Amino acid sequence: MKKNSFYTLILALLFTTGSQTSAGSPSPERPNIVIILADDLGSADLSTYGAPRIKTPELDRLANQGMKFTQFYAENFCSPSRAALLTGSYAHRVGIRKVFWPDSTDGLNPDEITIAELLKGKGYTTAVIGKWHLGHRKPFLPTNQGFDYYFGLPFSNDMGPNARPAKGPYGPMPIMRNEEVIERGPDQTQLTRRYTEETVRFIKGNRDKPFFVYLAHTMPHVPLYASDDFLGKSNFGLYGDVVEEIDWSTGRILETLDELGLADDTLVVFLSDNGPWLQKGAHGGLATPLREGKGTTWEGGHRVPAIMRWPGKIPANVTNDAMTTIMDLYPTIAGLVGADLPEDRVIDGKNIWPLLTGQTENSPHEAYYYYRLGRFEAVRIGEWKLHLEGNRRDYNNVHFDYTDDFLFHQREQLFNLADDIGEQRNLVLDYPDIVKKLREAVAEHKKDIKANSRPLGVVD
């Protein structure tokens, strides 16, 4: 890229606000809502995204019938990403700056108004099935966060006995139904199937009224498990087996909607909570050609696969390249059902309905801010991304650890993502004015977060 030929154009585009249109906001129609969240699924792990050895025909069909996003951002760890989805806000803003463990005494503050609570106010029946991971103490459980029904694991499937010897040990991993532990040490080869059966049962039981079901898969987070029907069947080892079973699960849910005549009345969203856990080698996925994966603020940590379908409303077989985020589901769904957004707090997500209906190709976001747990590390505006100077994770095949032993000091770095999606060529010395503008945006964002943050929930 030549400096002089792009300089004026980029500065003009950097801070354009005309894309923040409210045009196309639909009248309330109360569609059913199904959100399917995979855990640690990479942006290159589905065949519709170019995976050469993993076959995902059901998710390919979902993409062919709806819209596939190529620049969709989530947080880069489990708990923060779930908080962003349910609150429409940066996890840092709502106090979620870590991953919750079985010894945690805190969680998502019950004072938060979750997407489930917005929908309940509009007559929806709500359920979350699968991994919760926003606090397992009673005040933080889904049933106290707007969900009528909960079935699944309260945290990750690697948080069993002696997962953190310095803090544990803990009892065998629990399965909960609502607020009760109904089983300990479940057979994890059956988790994906059990979650699917619960989801299908919920949909069938609520077919005659608007429903919201949030299916949060445990997999392909390690340790990996697949049922006998899928074990050894893929061309990408155990990881591929697990992903192909998640694909089957998605197909089973789509089939159920078809059988009940609900497909045309249902918004289906499929996405991942963060990038792939590359440090797990053959048990982790891929983010190629993005740099790095889970736990980092490189693109591979935050960009995730995302597909949305609502027949007759969202055009079919469309690839969308606009910058969008997991936080956008909150205001978008609120707009669809006619729910008012809370006015006493900042909601960072944007209503992307105009994007979903093809009325615009422009992102409603002026910027995206990259956090790694409690650390703010980077900002993107337009195609420009600035990594701040400081310590950050950059594993490069270093074995993952929950400590900060693998933080490396890195100088300030500027990348043009349109030309350098792999974040290899540092242009910080070539574009000082763009660096200055990005720094200014960072300063304003930090002021806003400080003035408008909300507390983490804590129990004694």
Letter for the amino acid at 459? V
Q: At what angle do helices 237-259 and 191-205 cross, to 10 degrees?
A: 10
Q: In terms of DSSP H, where are the helices of 177-270?
A: 191-205, 237-259
Integer-rounded Cα Rg, in Å, for the chain is: 21
Exactly one of 92, 133, 221, 365 is catalytic; name it. Answer: 133
Return d(Cα 287, Cα 278) in angstroms, integer.
9
Q: Which two tokens stand for residue 434?
A: 């763009």
The conformation of residue 367, written as its DSSP 8-state character, comes to -
**365 is known as an active-site residue:** no
Q: Which two tokens stand for residue 166?
A: 């310095």
Exactly one of 78, 92, 221, 387 is catalytic; name it. Answer: 78
Question: Which of 137, 136, 130, 154 is CA-nearest to residue 220?
Answer: 130
**133 is known as an active-site residue:** yes
Question: Which of 31, 260, 257 is CA-nearest to residue 124?
Answer: 31
Q: Which two tokens stand for residue 364?
A: 């409603």
- Rounded (5°) CA angle 27-33-37: 135
- Cβ atoms of 367 and 381 closer than 8 Å: yes
Return d(Cα 313, Cα 324) in angstroms, integer.
19
- The dihedral through the CA atoms of 71, 76, 82, 86 has a sign that is negative
- What residues are labeled active site? 78, 133
